[in-house]
Amino acid sequence: MAERYLVPDYILEYKCSCCTECCKRRRIIIDKGTVEKYDQLAAEDEELSAMLNEGLQKDKTGKASVRLKDIVKKTTVEGNGEHKDMVSVDRSVCPFLGSEGLCAIQKKHGIDALSDTCKIFPRTIFKTGRGFEMALTYACKTAAKTLKNKHTVEFFQDPPGFDFPDLHGQYGRIGDMLARKKQGKTNYFDVEALLIDIMQFREINVDTRLILTGIVIDKLKNGDILSIRKYLQSLDETIANLLMSLPSQPVFMMKLVKEAVDKRLFSRITEKDMALMISRAYNELKLLDQPEIADEKVERFLTAYRKYYKPGADDIDHVYENYFVNFIFAKKYYTYKYMDAYFLMMFFYILIRFFAVCACMAEGRQVDEDIIVEVISAVERSIGHNTTYYQDVLRLIKEGGYHRLPYVISLVNL
């Protein structure tokens, strides 16, 4: 029987650019099924056997991790009639990455020989009663470019011609009704559809959609989806405007960002684009040089927000919309408690918006979709796929008292 798939249109549009960035500076885990397959292939392939012995470190569970290595590159540069040899080091590279930018294992034995990790990235995959459901991680810059699509996301059940290599089980699972009941999420798929509907409701801006999402999540305590939909239908423009007129808390917003950016959470972040974002924030706001956030720093940020960000906000709503639809469809609301997932979503929004304003200040230009996509991709490459960081963020939010819904709403408004 052929496998079934439920995929958003941006999965169908995504094409790998072979930039090889996913083969560098990240921990690559090889699943047990792939390790066993490699052992079988290596028994008849001495060259592969030598590569695997040098490049893999097996553990007691039957899995393995890739031994990343530094690669020295030599290039010749011509200038002033002379030729000079230049040496550079490409650090922490997968040893199976060939000089032509292709995986030596895939080139030799086909895509089915890849580990689940390498087959899946930059996708996230859950197996459900509807089939394999796929979203993207924007740690991949090519994947992040799909955020620029201006049409609302469509979802396709078993699109003609779509197929995916076999996996060994390295994907999430959403079980049957009984399994979802144990999770306290019997009606999860209805909740997911409702949240996506809200996020794609373009008659209001993204900030208002995020606030409505929080109200809905708060009302989900009783699990009555029908009454929530009726409640949303009764909302008029006056109520939506009232939500957006709640007092803002820019000082506390910047305090949350500062606490998230300090060494407790970012101590292991080495990704260069994220380092650039942090450097911009420091240079423009001097945010990290004092324990307290002075009023003049807050006013400097708000001035930049009003000058560079707010005038272009309507032109970037579709990027945020696509980002949050993907966040929802990536099953974050199944993996975490509903309200925890909402707080995570809001945290990333606040973080992305903050760094986008700092980027606009540094470059002296109005925000646009390129800036937002650049920031999202940097954040995702550094922390967006790190479940340990997610737990750290949730702990920070709760310890700092940021986890009350009215408080979160005040952080959105500027």
Q: Determine the pLDDT at residue 357.
A: 94
What is the rounded CA–CA span in Å between residue 260 and residue 378?
15
* CA distances to 92, 237, 244, 408 from 405, in Å: 42, 21, 14, 5
Amino acid, res. 145: K
Q: What pLDDT does 237 receive?
A: 57
Poorest-pLDDT segment among 114-118, 177-181, 263-267: 263-267
Q: Which two tokens stand for residue 222?
A: 């009783």
- Round to whole Å and give the CA distance between 340 and 318: 24
In terms of average pLDDT, the best of 141-155, 283-297, 388-402 is 141-155
Angle between the N-to-C axes of helices 188-199 and 225-234, in degrees from 0 to 180, rounded to the nearest 10: 20
Backbone angles phi, psi at 269, to 5 degrees: -85, 120
What is the four-CA torsion angle of 296, 301, 304, 306, rounded to 10 degrees? -100
> Residue 223: is its pLDDT beyond 90?
no
Percent of the chain with pLDDT over 70: 88
- Model confidence over 355-375: pLDDT tens digits? 999 999 999 999 999 999 999
pLDDT at residue 249, as a whole number: 73
Q: Provide the token pair at 414.
A: 């500027």
Which position has the higher pLDDT, 164 or 3?
164
Query: Over pLDDT 90: what percentage of the chain?
Result: 38
Give the containing element (helix H, strand E) for 243: helix 237-244
Reduced to 3 states (helix: H, G, I; strand: E, B; else coil), residue 270 is coil
Q: What is the pLDDT of residue 1?
A: 47
Indicate if the pLDDT at residue 232 is higher than 60. Answer: yes
Decide: 93 and 69 in contact? Cβ < 8 Å.
yes
Q: Residue 296: pLDDT above 70?
A: yes
Measured distance CA(275)–CA(147) in Å, rounded = 22
Confidence of residue 395 (pLDDT cuts 50, 70, 90): confident
> By C-alpha distance, which of 279, 356, 287, 283 is closest to 316?
356
Mean pLDDT of 281-287: 79
Rounded Cα distance between 376 and 363, Å, is 17
- Helix spans in 43-164 (H): 46-55, 104-109, 116-120, 141-144
User: Using CA atoms, how far apart are residues 364 and 372, in angstroms rounded to an integer?
Assistant: 15
At how many degrees (to 10) do helices 405-412 and 250-261 cross? 90
Joined tokens for residue 185: 């999420």
Better-predicted residue by pLDDT, 124 or 403: 124
Q: Does 335 have pLDDT greater than 80?
A: yes
**pLDDT tens for each residue of 38-87:** 999 889 888 889 989 998 999 889 899 999 888 777 777 776 667 777 77
